[in-house]
Amino acid sequence: MKRLFASVRKINDVDTIAEIIQEFDDIDNEFPADFVNQLVDITSLNPVPEIHWIYVDGEFLPPPPPVYTPAQQMQSAAYMGCNIVFTAKPDLSAKYYAYGIPWQQMRDQVLYIVSFGEFSGGISQLHWPVHDDAEVIFTSIDDFKMIVRAIGDWLTYWQAFVNGKIESPPADTVTLA
């Protein structure tokens, strides 16, 4: 049986598997002795360690999960969308876009509504795209403004978290009555 070896190196001050080597025939004849002496035999370990696992006191451990900054968490949440549950009007419950052009278009539509008292173009039904290739249909400008306000408030709470003003991020779901 061919043996497996881990090449452990310091990465960010932590002993980490940088490479896994499988011998072809006999590792002692395949590499210089000083290199072989630094390898750790992992052939019989279960589970078999993988690259980036850490080596502590003679044992291998999976790497810790990544730690994301609050700004990275906010960016991911906005990209994933704001889940709105509208209990009074379930047809308007959806995961709404909360970033980029879709979010800008929502805000632009609210500006139009505030300025002219109707949906842009004078339409009576506003078909709005949401996540999962779906759409919701608004027939009330007040409902649309309520949804946009909820998303805006959600993003404001996220920003407060990013700025250290609150200790935890907002919930993934915003519920409207």
- DSSP calls for 122-169: G-S-EEEEETTTEEEEE--HHHHHHHHHHHHHHHHHHHHHHTTSSSSP
The predicted pLDDT at position 162 comes to 98
Express each pLDDT in 122-135 by its tens digit. 999 999 999 999 99
Question: How far is 24 from 22, CA to CA, in rounded Å?
Answer: 6
Residues 6 or more apart from 33 whose CB is under 8 A from it? none
pLDDT at 155: 98
pLDDT at 93 over 90: yes
Looking at the whole model, is its pTM more than 0.75? Answer: no
- Residue ranges per structural domain of the chain: 4-61, 70-176
Instruction: Report in angstroms the alpha-carbon separations of 1 from 4, 24, 25, 48.
Output: 10, 10, 9, 15
Whether residue 47 is preceded by a cis peptide bond, meaning omega within 30 degrees of 0, is: yes
Helix (H) or strand (E) segment spanning residue 36: helix 33-36
Instruction: Show the tokens assigned to 124.
Output: 């009576």
